[in-house]
């Protein structure tokens, strides 16, 4: 199910953040390491659901990071010190 507002919501969740490498373009950012789960929760469930709250909790436990840095991080090449 595709809802544009939910896609926008996920992108806007990075509004006050940037990657430690300086990347601030919101569409390149991910919530590391829980991004896939957060994205699925937001895309599948509405704003008034328990699942949305779960997504927000996962965001609190994650670090906003650009896709480049997330890829490096996954392979043990630490792009910066957390």
- Is 69 a residue that touches Zn ion (CB under 5 A)? yes
Phi, psi of 63 (to 5 degrees): -115, 125
Distance CA 48, CA 4 (A): 17
DSSP 38-74: HHHHHHHS-TTSHHHHHHHHHHHTSEEEEHHHHHHHH
Interface with Zn ion (CB under 5 A), residue from 9, 18, 23, 24:
23
Taking residue 15's Cβ as centre, other Cβ atoms within 10 Å add up to 9
Site string for Zn ion, 2-21 (x = CB under 5 A): -----------------x-x
Q: Which is nearer to Zn ion, 30 or 41 (CB)?
A: 30
Q: Which is nearer to Zn ion, 42 or 69 (CB)?
A: 69
Q: Which is nearer to Zn ion, 19 or 42 (CB)?
A: 19
Query: Could you list the residues that contact Zn ion (CB under 5 A)?
Result: 19, 21, 23, 66, 69
């Amino acid at each position: 199910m595709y809802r544009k507002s939910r896609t926008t919501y996920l992108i806007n969740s990075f509004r006050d953040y940037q990657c430690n490498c300086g990347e601030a373009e919101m569409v390149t950012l991910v919530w590391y390491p829980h991004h896939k789960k957060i994205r699925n929760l937001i895309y599948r469930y509405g704003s008034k659901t328990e699942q949305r709250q779960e997504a927000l909790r996962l965001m609190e436990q994650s670090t906003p990071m650009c896709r480049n840095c997330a890829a490096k991080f996954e392979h043990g090449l630490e792009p910066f010190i957390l």
